[in-house]
């Protein structure tokens, strides 16, 4: 299997505070990896560095073996909040990068179940619909890697489950490599081929868990044992 994204962070500091030290994470092509860890352990910092948004670190990010310098159209990013531009319609938000491909916008909105909301303003959407629009926007540049920073944490449990299934479907259909930051261990175990527990300044910084082959079922008995092991590692 080829490595789609190779993250190596020698050091990331905020002022005097060390957040990440000697963290190396490789994502195989088409793999879904969840990153979990305690608050402040460096998950979001790692994701921000991987996306190219944060360039103030020591280390290197490679995509298909080539070093990345800054943001790339090959990497999509979905934030914790939908972050839609409120003055643009849903379709204009999705096509923010380039409004010359209405067919792609239409297809993506259809994929996320927002066919009828192309002309709606963000204020007219529910939280779940807004996050669907954000997913469609993240897919518009047709990225090969999708980074998600706790994307479903602000929606209710039922919507979260629907959005999780939506993510699995689009990841499969678009053959995406996915790195997901989450606080929800059940979500990580359901969605991921690999769950990585991060403690940014520990040695080693990463501990891996393998939930087993997909498709996985919610509330699987084998997942309970893995969840207990993860909680144990988190000292919860």
Cβ nearer to another protein, comparing 162 with 194: 162
Q: Are strands 32-36 and 194-198 parallel, antiparallel or unpaired?
A: parallel
Give the number of residues in contact with another protein, rule: CB under 8 A. Answer: 33
Work out whether 153 is an interface residue with another protein (CB under 8 A).
Answer: no
Work out whether 74 is an interface residue with another protein (CB under 8 A).
Answer: no
Closest C-alpha among 87, 101, 191 to residue 139? 101
Cβ nearer to another protein, comparing 97 with 208: 97
- Least distance from another protein to the Cβ atom of residue 154, Å: 9
Closest C-alpha among 186, 234, 230 to residue 208? 230
Work out whether 155 is an interface residue with another protein (CB under 8 A).
Answer: yes
Which of 3, 104, 121, 202: binder of another protein (CB under 8 A)? 121
Cβ nearer to another protein, comparing 51 with 177: 51
Work out whether 79 is an interface residue with another protein (CB under 8 A).
Answer: yes
Work out whether 218 is an interface residue with another protein (CB under 8 A).
Answer: no
- In the structure encoding, which two tokens stand for residue 232, read together? 């144990």
Piece in contact with another protein (CB under 8 A), picked from 21-29, 61-69, 152-160, 228-236: 152-160
- Least distance from another protein to the Cβ atom of residue 197, Å: 26
HSE toward the beta carbon, residue 39, CA cutoff 13 A:
0
Q: Is the dihedral of CA 75, 81, 83, 89 positive or negative?
A: positive
Strands (DSSP E) contained in 29-99 are 32-36, 58-63, 66-67, 75-78
CB burial of residue 122 (10 Å; 0-12, 13-18, 19+): buried
Distance between start and end Cα atoms, the chain:
35
Cβ nearer to another protein, comparing 14 with 158: 158
Q: Is 205 left (phi over 0), alpha (psi -120 to 50) or beta?
A: alpha
List residues binding another protein (CB under 8 A). Answer: 51, 53, 70-71, 77, 79, 81, 83, 85-88, 96-97, 113, 116-117, 120-129, 132, 155-156, 158-159, 162
């Amino acid at each position: 299997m080829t490595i789609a994204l190779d993250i190596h962070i020698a050091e990331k500091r905020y002022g005097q505070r060390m957040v990440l030290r000697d963290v190396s994470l490789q994502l195989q092509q088409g793999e879904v990896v969840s990153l979990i860890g305690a608050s402040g352990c460096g998950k979001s910092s790692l994701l921000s560095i991987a996306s190219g948004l944060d360039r103030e670190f020591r280390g290197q990010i490679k995509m298909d073996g080539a070093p990345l310098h800054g943001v790339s159209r090959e990497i999509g990013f979905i934030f914790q909040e939908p972050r839609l531009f409120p003055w643009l319609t849903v379709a204009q938000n999705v096509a923010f990068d380039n409004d010359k491909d209405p067919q792609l916008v239409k297809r993506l909105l259809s994929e996320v179940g927002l066919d009828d909301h192309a002309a709606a303003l963000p204020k007219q959407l529910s939280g779940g619909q807004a996050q669907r629009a954000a997913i469609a926007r993240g897919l518009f540049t047709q990225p090969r890697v999708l980074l998600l920073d706790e994307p479903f944490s602000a929606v209710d449990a039922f919507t979260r489950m629907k959005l999780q299934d939506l993510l699995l479907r689009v990841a499969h259909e678009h053959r995406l490599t996915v790195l997901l930051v989450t606080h929800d261990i059940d979500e990580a175990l359901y969605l991921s081929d690999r769950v990585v527990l991060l403690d940014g300044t520990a040695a080693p910084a990463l501990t891996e868990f393998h939930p087993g082959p997909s498709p996985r079922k919610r509330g699987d008995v084998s997942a309970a044992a893995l969840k207990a092991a993860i909680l144990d590692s988190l000292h919860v």
